[in-house]
A and B are shown apart, each in its own frame.
Chain A
Amino acid sequence: MSDWKSLEVFGLAKAEKQAWLLDELNRLTLHHQAHCAPYANLLAGQGQQARVAESLDAVPFVAARLFKMLCLSSTQPEDVFKTLTSSGTTSQVKSQIVLDRDTAALQSKVLVSLLSSFTGKARRPILIIDHDGLTGDKAGFSARGAGVQGLSFLGRDHTYALNSDMTPNWPVIDEFIAKYANAPVLIFGFTFMVWQHFIEPLIASDRSNLLPQALLFHSGGWKKLQDQAVSNDAFKTTVRQALGEGVAVHNFYGMVEQIGSVFVECEQGHLHAPSYADVIIRDQETLEVKNIGESGLIQVLSFIPKSYPGHSILTEDLGRLLGEGDCPCGRKGRYFEVLGRLPKTEVRGCSDVF
């Protein structure tokens, strides 16, 4: 089997991709079965032991929430390099993702390879819409910190746009703008933070057309923006109003349970599965595989997770499969859209009025 580095990021035709990815995933299933007892139990309990999947949709999946309920690790405690936690808000229980050095390194390499297919090989100056202070502590590494660190490999002259109280650090921003107004730059941040802590203040301060050659990557869920009735289109329009008409804006879909192999939005507004990963849409009620045009729960597949059994995860996000191999942008593979979260069945455990 060919090494992932030899694959073109969005260049594999369906049969080729399935053959490569399926082989990787089957190997991971066996690996985790041998190294993670709860995962082996899970397969055995569901009658899925010692089975090699014949197709991608037959690869066993783990419900995403299990990472919040159990420590699922295929890594010896002494080999744990860092543990990622989801950026879950307030009192929610957070996911725990255990990484060894190899998996952590692979995440970064894959992410860089994937995103540089949008940015080009040259490292661009990068403006990070966050504050500098997220990536210090390895033991309790947040998804936000991991995202920032992952993206930072793509850029140079890393500039943090926010103060620790989330207000814009104007002197730093203005200096970055003055320095790179006519250069291709990279901007990265979490969707809601880009909107609330960067774009809105920029507009309010009457700054406009500031970084006309920028490329903006943003990720992290739309819920808060949907609450403010900001659509993806409105988001893009407003970003371009503030930064420049020609600014490229790419959302991407990813999660702490599968860092690295993210799904990036193309010029058509479609999220694309790279060669290293895939999506399957499953019926919310029956969990049967859905076809193009249909919506349901999003299952994500990735060849990266070796330190924990997260190579096939059924998320609690809803999406619609839009097509495969025929996006006008020219990228091969499946493309889809995310429709939001599965409506939360109210968590009403024994009672906490106190």
Chain B
Amino acid sequence: MSSNIQLWAGSPDYLQWSRTQIMPFSEKRVQFLVRLSEVLLSGHYSAALTALGFWLRESQLRQWQQEYANDDKVILAPVGRVFIVSPSNVEGLFAYSWALSYLMGNQTVVRVSEQLTDDQRALFTLLESLDVQTAGLSEQAFISYDKRSDITQKLSHWCQLRMLWGSDQSIESIRQMPLPAQAQEWVFPDRYSVSVLHLTEADIPRIPKLAEGFARDVSTYQQQACASPKWVLWYQTDKTLQQQFWQAVDACLVGAFPANERLVASQYLCALGGVKVFYGNIKVIEASSILGGDQHLKGVVGQSQCSDLATITAQLPNHIQSVTAFGLDRAAKVALMTRSNVRQFAQMGHALNFDKVWDGIDLTTILSKKVRL
């Protein structure tokens, strides 16, 4: 094995693992995740890791187990060998996709960026210590390596499922490496997310709560996650209400974004034709359509006015992912998704809550196979 591989947790001999006989929701694996969840919820971990702990709580795992219970027609089985390449911008993301792969009974190799964040270090330390106690990670590996090495190629030959999370550029480079015909691939490339808000006079009392949620959606990961809303499409909403909303958001974002980042981002959107309409802890730039979607801006949100749903969908880019919505009924959501590539809706404040159905894909399904009896 090349010397530039770093193993952060799990077992190093992944290329030699023999085939596993573990099945989805094996009790040993459920117990490992439950233990992981309990420690993460002990109060000693960051908000992001605590959220992971909550997501993996036992009641949730048991509920999934029910949901995927075998019947007399099909039995759920692992895919087998899964290779996950995870992004560095949302440092906890790898843990979610790994946990699902693990739960479905797979052997998993996860590649993370060489520059570990504090959260990643803490999580790997914890995984290692749980592994020492339970040997629960004997068929799992969390590694980093120099991207110029041939490890990606080796793992692409090793795996039966390659799952790539990252920028379009990263994914396209990895895709240069052939995947054997027998292996599957799922990719999670660059996405863009917006918020669609429809407020009426009756919603005034709810504005503070909505604003708090919106502020959480933009401040988590400093707007750098694919699901972070970057533009607000106001659907039939009075400008006074918009102003009230921004004031309430502003109050929740004191110190969230450095002044220079806000300046750079707002000047950029203005240079493209936007007009500054709100100036504070976050800047709001108005334009007739979405601008600057290819830059990673911080501390700025764009907005446009939409009188009907068609004006909204006309603006949404092809790589639209999440719509954090308020005031849209089911029919409106259906109208939006049928006319655009919207991949998921979220409630205000929950844009970044990971779900096993993500980006329009049921991860548990792709990480397992349904064997017909």
- Asked if A349 is at the interface of the complex by the 8 Å CB criterion, the answer is yes
* B270 adjacent to A353 (CB under 8 Å): no
- Asked if B39 is at the interface of the complex by the 8 Å CB criterion, the answer is no
* A314 adjacent to B263 (CB under 8 Å): yes
- Asked if A46 is at the interface of the complex by the 8 Å CB criterion, the answer is yes
Kindly specify which of B25-33, B75-83, B165-173, B332-340 makes contact with the partner chain: B165-173
A284's nearest neighbour on chain B, judged by CB, is B259
Given the interface contacts A46-B276, A350-B89, does A345 sit within 8 Å of B261 by beta carbon? yes
* A63 adjacent to B169 (CB under 8 Å): no
Proximity bits, A35-62, B CB within 8 Å = 1, else 0: 0001101101111000000000000001
Proximity bits, B99-112, A CB within 8 Å = 1, else 0: 00000000000011
Q: How far is the CA of A348 from the CA of B225 in the complex (A)?
A: 9
Residues of chain B lying within 8 A (CB to CB) of residue A349: 89, 167, 224, 296
By secondary structure, the B interface counts as: mixed
* A316 adjacent to B260 (CB under 8 Å): yes
Q: How far is the CA of A76 from the CA of B226 in the complex (A)?
A: 37
* B166 adjacent to A285 (CB under 8 Å): no
Contact of B167 among A39, A45, A70, A352 (CB under 8 A): A352
Given the interface contacts A38-B271, A42-B267, A287-B263, does A345 sit within 8 Å of B258 by beta carbon? yes
Q: How far is the CA of A201 from the CA of B160 in the complex (A)?
A: 55
* A286 adjacent to B259 (CB under 8 Å): yes
User: Number of contact residues on A: which range applies?
Assistant: 20 to 34
* B86 adjacent to A353 (CB under 8 Å): yes
Q: How far is the CA of A150 from the CA of B13 in the complex (A)?
A: 58
Given the interface contacts A342-B260, A349-B89, A351-B165, does A45 sit within 8 Å of B226 by beta carbon? no
Given the interface contacts A41-B273, A350-B224, does A70 sit within 8 Å of B174 by beta carbon? no
Q: How far is the CA of A316 from the CA of B221 in the complex (A)?
A: 22
* B267 adjacent to A62 (CB under 8 Å): yes
Specify which of A42, A72, A286, A348 lies most central, judged by the most chain B CB atoms within 10 Å of its CB.
A348
B343 CB, min distance to chain A CBs, angstroms: 15
* A46 adjacent to B267 (CB under 8 Å): yes
- Asked if B190 is at the interface of the complex by the 8 Å CB criterion, the answer is yes
- Asked if A65 is at the interface of the complex by the 8 Å CB criterion, the answer is yes
Given the interface contacts A287-B263, A349-B224, A354-B170, does A69 sit within 8 Å of B268 by beta carbon? yes
Q: Which residues in window 87-122 of B have CB below 8 A to A?
A: 87-90, 111-113
- Asked if A297 is at the interface of the complex by the 8 Å CB criterion, the answer is yes
* A354 adjacent to B173 (CB under 8 Å): yes
Given the interface contacts A285-B259, A351-B87, does A44 sit within 8 Å of B270 by beta carbon? yes
Residues of chain A lying within 8 A (CB to CB) of residue B62: none
Given the interface contacts A348-B224, A350-B166, A353-B147, does A39 sit within 8 Å of B263 by beta carbon? no
- Asked if B272 is at the interface of the complex by the 8 Å CB criterion, the answer is yes
Residues of chain B lying within 8 A (CB to CB) of residue A63: 260, 263-264, 267
- Asked if B285 is at the interface of the complex by the 8 Å CB criterion, the answer is yes
B193 CB, min distance to chain A CBs, angstroms: 12
* B169 adjacent to A353 (CB under 8 Å): no
* A353 adjacent to B271 (CB under 8 Å): no
- Asked if A66 is at the interface of the complex by the 8 Å CB criterion, the answer is yes
A72's nearest neighbour on chain B, judged by CB, is B271
A348's nearest neighbour on chain B, judged by CB, is B89
Q: How far is the CA of A264 from the CA of B270 in the complex (A)?
A: 34
B272 CB, min distance to chain A CBs, angstroms: 7
Residues of chain B lying within 8 A (CB to CB) of residue A342: 258, 260
- Asked if A122 is at the interface of the complex by the 8 Å CB criterion, the answer is no
- Asked if B325 is at the interface of the complex by the 8 Å CB criterion, the answer is no
Residues of chain A lying within 8 A (CB to CB) of residue B263: 63, 287, 314
* B89 adjacent to A354 (CB under 8 Å): no
* B87 adjacent to A45 (CB under 8 Å): no
Q: How far is the CA of A316 from the CA of B113 in the complex (A)?
A: 27
- Asked if B21 is at the interface of the complex by the 8 Å CB criterion, the answer is no
B8 CB, min distance to chain A CBs, angstroms: 13
* B275 adjacent to A354 (CB under 8 Å): no
Specify which of A41, A44, A46, A354 lies most central, judged by the most chain B CB atoms within 10 Å of its CB.
A354
Q: How far is the CA of A348 from the CA of B228 in the complex (A)?
A: 13
- Asked if A15 is at the interface of the complex by the 8 Å CB criterion, the answer is no
Residues of chain B lying within 8 A (CB to CB) of residue A345: 222, 258, 261, 298
Contact of B166 among A65, A70, A284, A352 (CB under 8 A): A352
Given the interface contacts A45-B274, A350-B89, A354-B166, does A70 sit within 8 Å of B268 by beta carbon? yes
B134 CB, min distance to chain A CBs, angstroms: 28
Contact of A45 among B88, B260, B269 (CB under 8 A): B269
Residues of chain A lying within 8 A (CB to CB) of residue B85: 353-354
- Asked if A347 is at the interface of the complex by the 8 Å CB criterion, the answer is yes
Given the interface contacts A38-B271, A45-B276, does A284 sit within 8 Å of B173 by beta carbon? no
A282's nearest neighbour on chain B, judged by CB, is B259
* B89 adjacent to A45 (CB under 8 Å): no
Given the interface contacts A41-B273, A350-B167, does A66 sit within 8 Å of B268 by beta carbon? yes
* A354 adjacent to B174 (CB under 8 Å): yes
B residues adjacent to A (C-beta < 8 A):
85-90, 111-113, 147, 152, 165-167, 169-171, 173-174, 190, 221-222, 224, 226, 258-261, 263-264, 266-276, 285, 295-296, 298
User: Can you list 11 A-B pairs with a CB-CB distance of less than 8 A?
Assistant: A38-B272, A42-B271, A63-B267, A70-B268, A287-B263, A345-B222, A348-B88, A348-B224, A348-B296, A350-B167, A352-B87
Closest 8 CB pairs of A and B: A45-B270, A351-B87, A354-B170, A38-B271, A349-B296, A350-B167, A42-B271, A353-B113
Given contacts A45-B273, A345-B261, A352-B88, 15 further A-B contacts (CB under 8 A): A41-B274, A42-B267, A63-B267, A69-B295, A284-B260, A287-B259, A348-B221, A350-B224, A350-B226, A350-B296, A351-B90, A353-B86, A353-B147, A354-B147, A354-B174
